[in-house]
Amino acid sequence: MLTVEKIGGTSMSQFKDVLENVIIGKRAPEDLYDRIFVVSAYNNVTNWLLEHKKTGEPGVYVQFLENSDYSIGLDSLCQRLLLINKGFEEIGLDQGEAREFITFRIKQAKTMLHSLSKVMASGYVNADDICLAAREILASIGEAHSAWNTVNILNNNGISARFIDLCGFNDSMPLTIDERIHRAFKGMDFSKTLCVVTGYTKGTEGIMRAFDRGYTEVTFSKVAVEVKAVEAIIHKEYHLSSADPNIVGVDKIIPVGYTNYVIADQLADIGMEAIHPKAAKPLELAGINIRIKNTFEPEHPGTLITKDYVSGVPKVEIVSGTNKVLAIEIHDPMMVGEVGFDLRIMQIFQKHKVSYILKSTNANSITMVVWDNYKSRELISELEEVFYQVIEERVALVCAMGTNIAIPGFLYKAAKALYDRGINVESFGQSLRQVNMQFVIKREHYKEAVIALNEELCIDK
């Protein structure tokens, strides 16, 4: 009954709890195996290596791009990692061995980055490819650090563990991601060894080229498919719940027991990822279910995501959304009846690599909701040059989702709940599949809207 389990960065930083709740728990010694753990870097380490995911604060990667002294940046990072190591001494991390591993890995990274900078300075190669290689080298350090530490702690606690290093620092083989994973697990006896895998995988196609910061879940997914796992488990610091407890309060949420891959896709589209959508698809196609568990409530079964689940009782399962989006409206009196008008819009979207979350139309206007970031600013500038009138507005998007909401009444209840709070619906979207009602509202009303919809649609009264 082999499982593949992913541990996120926040949980990894509280590894004593992970050790007690997830890895050992109440298991008998013979039940500790037949599991593979794919681990993320400790909390904030990837931000220090690359750039802060939310604030954009530069890391070592930005120093490399700007041709500043990234070597000093790596030395500073090393000291931070050694400080993290110190926090795990009481649970068995050998400080001397851990120091030796990470200092050598950073030394290797310095050598590689120095070579890349020399090649890039020659002007004979595509600078974008060199920068991507540097980004991958740096990103991999975080996962190698946490995975190696985990194996050292487990072995020192009497658990037979093996470090599966997919970072490829010690070989120059031109393997694809799938080939590297296949070679790493070929002939492995999982019944006697607990494998701990780096969340980063080196491959000729570049795992960050397509997935960027979502690469850990891609590795997790590919490993699960490779070993034909019976279940893929994601350990997070919270339950997948009816709404964000930070907004509605912990006493006003309901953990989601079951849902399906369609709902997981809806969540990913608004940035509330249960799992990266490109990581979910291989699991879905392979018929492997995903279970999301709370690291700190190990007895709770968590949320099971399957391909075919539909709630036997009509209900909204999750209220979620984001207040970091823009509504872009393109208005043109000549649009009415013109075949292919929106094709011109989509070609500009494609050029700027911007994907919309919601699209709503009438006779002479098209409204699209996109992420509020630098790409959208560049997109809007070009749209204004091409079309009659372009309006942008900073808004929020709040969604009510469920596997079985295609019956009369849910839309009415949702709209009335917003109306009762004095919240106007600026735009709306729902497809024929009817698994997600999307409401565009003023940004300042976001939290109140989530509270209203959760109370009206998810909480039994």
pLDDT tens-digit series, residues 54-90: 777 889 999 998 888 899 999 999 999 999 999 999 9
pLDDT of res. 105: 97
Residues 46, 139 contacting (CB under 8 angstroms): yes
> Would you state the pLDDT for residue 461?
55
Instruction: Give the tokens for residue 291.
Output: 């279970």
Helix, strand, coil shares of the chain, percent, nearest 5, are 45, 20, 35
As to burial, measured by CB atoms within 10 angstroms (0-12 exposed, 13-18 middle, 19+ buried), residue 107 is exposed
Other CB atoms within a 10 A radius of the CB of residue 166 amount to 26
The reported pTM is: 0.89
Amino acid residing at 461:
K
Contacts by 360-364, CB closer than 8 A, 24 or more apart = 360/427, 360/428, 360/429, 363/335, 363/336, 364/331, 364/332, 364/333, 364/334, 364/335, 364/336
Q: If you ran DSSP here, which 8-state letter would residue 252 be given?
A: G
H/E stretch holding 401 = strand 389-401
Percent of the chain with pLDDT over 90: 80
Q: Is 306 left (phi over 0), alpha (psi -120 to 50) or beta?
A: beta
First to last CA, the chain: 40
> What count of Cα atoms within 13 Å lies in the side-chain half-sphere of residue 235?
29
- What percentage of the chain has pLDDT greater than the value 70? 99
Q: Could you give phi then psi for residue 94, rounded to 5 degrees?
A: -75, 110
pLDDT at 119: 87
Euclidean distance between CA atoms 185 and 170, whole angstroms: 17
Is pLDDT of 163 > 70? yes
Residue 418 has pLDDT above 90, yes or no: yes
pLDDT tens digits along 335-378? 998 898 999 999 999 999 899 999 999 999 999 999 998 888 89
Residue 375, pLDDT score = 84
d(CA 387, CA 335): 10
For the segment 305-333, the average pLDDT, to the nearest whole number, is 94
The pair of three-digit structure tokens given for residue 120, joined into one six-digit string = 């890039």
Going by the DSSP 8-state scheme, the letter that residue 104 receives in this structure is H
| In the predicted structure, residue 14 carries a pLDDT above the cut 90 | yes
Could you tell me which of 411, 416, 448 has the C-alpha nearest to residue 430?
411
Q: Give the whole-angstrom CA distance, residue 418 versus residue 411.
A: 11
DSSP per-residue codes, 253-308:
--B--EEEHHHHHHHHHTT--SS-HHHHHHHHHHT-EEEEEETT-TTS--EEEESS
- The stretch 94-111 carries a mean pLDDT of 97
